[in-house]
């Protein structure tokens, strides 16, 4: 990510015209970004889904790996330059897919690129698309004062990741985002959880330890 921040986000329609090369810029080679992408793959694999919808293809890192690993994955993106399987607006998933068509719907670092007024409706669309679970990631608006993480291996026990992160709230967000977690009262973690719980059981809502800017959210669809 760059350090250029504002509270405006990109204009309506601009996301659909971004050049593919943007998703292969220097920021995507940062270790924290690669940690997040790899962790998304690991989380999806852990959930055991076979038929997966990925909202927001980006550079294809996640979908390409999962596809080669044998998962049946479909990508949708508003930007045709990214060559998704389906070009479409995620606010209208029901126009492209049948209810419950997928075991898992993934939406990583996407929702903040739309005005927050569309959040609840988009979550409803995500709930319609999946028969079981959804996996969402959202960045948090914060100053990171201290970020320390390490793996601890105890003989005969599994390896554990331990971390220590100290943060302070901040008012400005990345220039490409309309909002971030905790960027205002409406986007506080408890408020986001309330909106998610209208359609899902929140199984986990946690900071990713190797990139504390990102929060990983695992959701199970309500019966």
User: Which burial class, exposed, middle or buried, applies to 99 when counting CB atoms under 10 A from its CB (0-12, 13-18, 19+)?
Assistant: exposed
* H-run or E-run covering 173: strand 173-174
User: 135: which 2 tokens?
Assistant: 């996996």
Looking at per-residue pLDDT, the higher value among 143 and 100 belongs to 100
Q: What residues have CB less than 8 Å from 13, skipping those under 6 apart?
A: none
Domain that holds residue 123: 5-221
Specify the CATH number for the domain of residue 202. Answer: 3.40.50.150
- Strand pairing report for 51-55 and 102-108: parallel
Q: For the chain, give the mean pLDDT.
A: 87
Alpha-carbon distance of 16 to 154, in angstroms, equals: 48
Per residue in 34-44, pLDDT tens?
989 999 999 99
Share of the chain residues as helix, strand and coil, in percent rounded to the nearest 5: 35, 30, 35
pLDDT at 145 (0 to 100): 58
> Does the pLDDT of residue 74 top 90, yes or no?
yes
**Residues above pLDDT 90, as percent of the chain:** 64
Alpha-carbon distance of 203 to 209, in angstroms, equals: 17
pLDDT at 1 (0 to 100): 37
The SS3 call for residue 184 is coil
Looking at per-residue pLDDT, the higher value among 166 and 129 belongs to 129
pLDDT at 8 (0 to 100): 63
Looking at per-residue pLDDT, the higher value among 176 and 74 belongs to 74
Its pTM stands at 0.85
> Does the pLDDT of residue 186 top 60, yes or no?
yes
pLDDT band at residue 155 using 50, 70 and 90 as cut-offs: confident
Residue of 76, 27, 18, 49 lying closest to 211 (CA atoms): 27
**Residues above pLDDT 70, as percent of the chain:** 83
pLDDT at 82 (0 to 100): 96
The residue whose two tokens read 């999946």 is 130
pLDDT band at residue 149 using 50, 70 and 90 as cut-offs: low
Split into its structural domains, the chain has a count of 1
Looking at per-residue pLDDT, the higher value among 92 and 208 belongs to 92
- Beta strands (DSSP E) in 70-142 are 72-77, 86-87, 102-108, 130-139
Q: What residues have CB less than 8 Å from 5, skipping those under 6 apart?
A: 172, 173, 174, 175
Give me the mean pLDDT over the 132-156 stretch: 74
> Does the pLDDT of residue 116 top 70, yes or no?
yes
Alpha-carbon distance of 136 to 114, in angstroms, equals: 15
> Does the pLDDT of residue 4 top 70, yes or no?
no
> Does the pLDDT of residue 10 top 90, yes or no?
no
Alpha-carbon distance of 45 to 58, in angstroms, equals: 19
pLDDT at 151 (0 to 100): 58
């Amino acid at each position: 990510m760059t350090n250029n921040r504002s509270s405006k986000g990109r204009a309506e329609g601009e996301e659909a015209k971004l050049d593919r090369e943007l998703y292969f810029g220097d920021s995507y080679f940062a270790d924290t970004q690669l940690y997040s992408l790899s962790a998304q793959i690991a989380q999806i694999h852990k959930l055991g889904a076979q038929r997966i919808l990925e909202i927001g293809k980006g550079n294809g890192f996640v979908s390409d790996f999962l596809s080669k690993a044998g998962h049946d994955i479909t990508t949708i993106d508003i930007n045709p330059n990214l060559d998704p399987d389906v070009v479409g607006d995620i606010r209208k998933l029901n126009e492209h897919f049948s209810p419950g068509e997928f075991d898992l719907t993934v939406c990583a670092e996407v929702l903040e690129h739309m005005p927050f007024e569309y959040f609840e409706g988009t979550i409803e669309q995500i709930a319609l698309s999946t028969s079981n679970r959804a996996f969402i990631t959202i960045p948090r608006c914060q100053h990171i004062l201290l970020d320390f993480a390490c793996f601890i291996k105890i003989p005969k026990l599994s390896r554990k990741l331990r971390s220590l992160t100290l943060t302070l709230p901040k008012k400005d967000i990345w220039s490409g985002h309309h909002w971030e977690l905790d960027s205002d009262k409406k986007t506080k973690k408890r408020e986001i959880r309330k909106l998610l719980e209208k359609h899902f059981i929140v199984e986990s809502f946690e900071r990713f330890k190797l990139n504390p800017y990102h929060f990983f959210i695992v959701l199970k669809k309500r019966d």
